[in-house]
Chains A and B, each alone.
With several copies, the nearest count.
Chain A
Amino acid sequence: MKVKYFAWVRERIGLAEETVEPPAGVRTVGDLIDWLATRGDEYAHAFETPGVIRAAIDHTHVKPDMTIAGAREIAFFPPMTGG
């Protein structure tokens, strides 16, 4: 599955997107954040306060308890500051 990062999440990880294959136990958006945070110091730093991270699956905002089954693209980013 494709994962995208924006703003300071992207900067901390040092990647704008990548393709990951999480293990079978990773079922929700929250699980995915926990698993990504184990992939290195950059990831641990990006996800150090999971509560602040926003997520979208296939361009729709989702909560941490949303399943990632069937997702093509999952994005992680800080709270939005547009307009």
Chain B
Amino acid sequence: MTVPVTIRIQDADFDIAREIEALTRGRTDIGAVVSFSGICRGSEADQDIAALTLEHYPGMAEAEIQRHVDDALSRWPLTGLTVIHRVGRLVPGDNIVLVLTASAHRQAAFSAAEFLMDYLKANAPFWKREERADGSTWVEAHHRDDEAAARWEKN
């Protein structure tokens, strides 16, 4: 059976309940659903953040996410997968990203969600610009995100 996969990059907010419902409605083979939502915080390293603006590489972002979704499907016995990444200007409290994974058992759902988030943080072509009181700067990549992504690399 084909596993239902949703990948969207959008300005609009998402509705977690609706996305979970879309993944699970009418199914009785799903025992575990993990959702990860990433949210815009109001401060970073003790500096207030007024807003984040997210830029992406259209075409490449979708293709790269699809490639990593396919990788997740080959690694774990999943019964459904959703990745939604917002772009544009977001203020503290706004949703940024949603990853949903469904499986018969919890470990596959947890692992696949962590794998996809580690990928999105370190290697998906998105860039964040922060607006603070003292101006606006591009967020620097974190070494810890590279390390988190590297733990999934195959030998």
Contacts and interface: CB of A to CB of B under 8 A. Distances in A.
**Do A and B come into direct contact in the complex, CB within 8 Å?**
yes
B41 interface: no
A59 B129 CA distance: 22
Interface residues of B, number: 29
A40 interface: no
Interface in A39-63: 56, 59-61
A29 B127 CA distance: 21
Interface residues of A, number: 16
B97 A77 contact: no
B59 A82 contact: no
A66 B124 CA distance: 20
A59 B127 contact: no
Given A77-B125, A81-B141, A83-B121, A6 B63 contact: no
A80 interface: yes
B72 to A, nearest CB: 15
Nearest to A8: B138
B63 A82 contact: no
Contacts of A80: 122-127, 141
B14 to A, nearest CB: 14
Interface of B: 38, 54-57, 59-60, 63-64, 85, 96-97, 106, 117, 120-129, 138-141, 145
